[in-house]
Chains A and B, each alone.
Chain A
Amino acid sequence: AQSVTQLGSHVSVSEGALVLLRCNYSSSVPPYLFWYVQYPNQGLQLLLKYTSAATLVKGINGFEAEFKKSETSFHLTKPSAHMSDAAEYFCAVRGSSNDYKLSFGAGTTVTVRA
């Protein structure tokens, strides 16, 4: 079975500072990994996904994530935080193309200080 662990339920950053959200996965097969963002009172929007191509994945809104098999990690970063990045972020894993189940971490809430 696949699972993910997000380290830190809350992260606070200053506007313009680096955003780093940590995600570690557990999977018995090469995983598909995703980051989703949820703005207040909205559904989940896909930020980026890793599907065994390039290990550094670029997503929307300036976010990127690096797949590190040796560390079983898929951390999300953005070089310079913007006020509009305040949201909840979820890491998720899917075992393979035939594994329809997307398993989510508990989420990390990001606040951005002016």
Chain B
Amino acid sequence: EAQVTQNPRYLITVTGKKLTVTCSQNMNHEYMSWYRQDPGLGLRQIYYSMNVEVTDKGDVPEGYKVSRKEKRNFPLILESPSPNQTSLYFCASSLSTGGGYTFGSGTRLTVV
């Protein structure tokens, strides 16, 4: 089944403790992206990647890092999480030909 898989689905952590949210897609998509969803703000792009080893900042990149060492994987790294990073995070992927993104099921992160 074609899908984007994120892990974990739920995560509670403490301020300053490094964490990684994994994302993997099995559709051979070139583009991958991370979004965060907050009430009343819709989805905002954090980082994106056009292909292996090519990444760039989205609208809200502060406090996040990403890497794209393999085409299928695009992990999101929070080096020192803070409470304002409490949010619902989505990974998504897309072909390069103008279609929409396929989204993962989301990771609900709480930073206390």
Contacts and interface: CB of A to CB of B under 8 A. Distances in A.
B31 interface: yes
Nearest to A32: B98
Given A49-B99, A100-B31, A100-B50, A106 B40 contact: yes
A42 B105 contact: yes
Contacts of B4: 43
A77 interface: no
B100 A102 contact: yes
A96 B98 contact: yes
A61 interface: no
A28 interface: no
A36 B45 CA distance: 16
Nearest to A90: B42
A97 B106 contact: no
Interface of A: 9, 32, 34, 36, 42-46, 49, 51, 90, 92, 94, 96-98, 100-107
6 contacts: A34-B100, A45-B103, A51-B99, A100-B94, A102-B92, A106-B40
